[in-house]
């Protein structure tokens, strides 16, 4: 029986210089999150990616290029994107990530067929903050807390400045309301990495 109100927080689209501000807030509140990283951004900001790992957050695959045409990619193109980002991650982490979230969260038949080959687990969300679209921190915050419930997976973006203060307010809200923020592998009882 579920005795605790558990939720997980996930960040898409990094790493990015703004990720450092997110890491600071997470550290202050002693919270572990998951970062769905874009391969080409890891290549651009390797030190920031290493810091995410050294602070024991989960890292996962969010494609290599985050193409706006990703929905139209064939199975082989999706596999290429996944493998490329896996090896970039594995070079730093020493192991392959098993979690994948498609760009824009859209899962196509090609993506499904690709995942059967690559063996990644598709990780969605059920609370979308719209922090990449709305630029008003109060509205973003209210959107999230209205939708939070036990088992929630919150989608945020570590690439937007607004999400830093929203995260701070959110963590205070969750604490006050007896929510426990756990890492997503724990929430879903799934392995985040190979081995």
**In the complex, minimum distance from the CB of residue 125 to Zn ion, in angstroms, rounded to a whole number:** 11
**Near Zn ion by CB under 5 A: residue from 7, 8, 13, 163:** 13
**In the complex, minimum distance from the CB of residue 91 to Zn ion, in angstroms, rounded to a whole number:** 22
Q: What is the DSSP string of the chain?
A: ---SEEEEEEEES---TTHHHHHHHHHHTT---EEEE-HHHHHH-HHHHHHHHHTT-EEEE--SS--TTGGG--HHHHHHHHHHHHHHHHHHHSS-B-EE--GGG---HHHHHHHHHH-PEE---SEE--TTT---HHHHHHHHHHH--TT-EEEEETT-THHHHHHHHHHHHHHHTTEEE--HHHHHT--SB--
- Residues in contact with Zn ion, counted by CB under 5 A, come to a total of 3
**In the complex, minimum distance from the CB of residue 62 to Zn ion, in angstroms, rounded to a whole number:** 6
Residues assigned a catalytic role: 12, 157
Nearest residue to Zn ion, scored by beta-carbon proximity: 12
Which part of the chain contacts Zn ion (CB under 5 A), choosing from 5-13, 20-28, 73-81, 182-190? 5-13
Sorted by sequence, the CB contacts under 8 Å of residue 156 that are 6+ apart come out as 9, 10, 11, 12, 129, 131, 163, 166, 167
* Closer Cβ to Zn ion, 13 or 158, answer by number: 13
**In the complex, minimum distance from the CB of residue 131 to Zn ion, in angstroms, rounded to a whole number:** 12
Which part of the chain contacts Zn ion (CB under 5 A), choosing from 13-21, 48-56, 80-88, 114-122? 13-21
90-119 residues near Zn ion, rule: CB under 5 A = 103
Does residue 192 contact residue 184 with C-beta atoms inside 8 Å?
yes
Does residue 131 touch Zn ion according to CB under 5 A? Answer: no
* Closer Cβ to Zn ion, 35 or 179, answer by number: 35
**Near Zn ion by CB under 5 A: residue from 8, 11, 12, 158:** 12
**In the complex, minimum distance from the CB of residue 175 to Zn ion, in angstroms, rounded to a whole number:** 28
Please report, as ranges, the residues that interact with Zn ion according to CB under 5 A: 12-13, 103
């Amino acid at each position: 029986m579920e005795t605790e109100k558990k939720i997980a927080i996930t960040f898409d689209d990094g790493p990015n210089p703004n990720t450092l501000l997110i890491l600071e807030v997470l550290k202050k509140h002693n919270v572990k999150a998951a970062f769905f990283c874009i391969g080409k951004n890891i290549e651009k900001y390797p030190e920031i990616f290493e810091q995410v790992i050294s602070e024991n957050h989960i890292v996962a695959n969010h494609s290599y290029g985050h193409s706006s045409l990703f929905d139209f990619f064939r199975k082989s193109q999706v596999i290429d994107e996944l493998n490329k980002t896996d090896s970039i991650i594995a070079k730093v982490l020493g192991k392959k990530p098993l979690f994948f979230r498609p760009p824009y969260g859209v899962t196509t038949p090609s993506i499904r067929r690709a995942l059967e080959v690559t063996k990644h687990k598709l990780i969605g969300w059920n609370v979308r903050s719209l922090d990449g679209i709305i630029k008003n921190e109060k509205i973003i915050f209210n959107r999230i807390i209205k939708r939070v419930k036990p088992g929630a997976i919150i989608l945020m973006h570590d690439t937007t400045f607004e999400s830093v203060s929203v995260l701070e307010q959110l963590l205070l809200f969750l604490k006050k309301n007896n929510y426990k923020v756990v890492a997503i592998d724990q929430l879903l009882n799934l392995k985040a990495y190979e081995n």
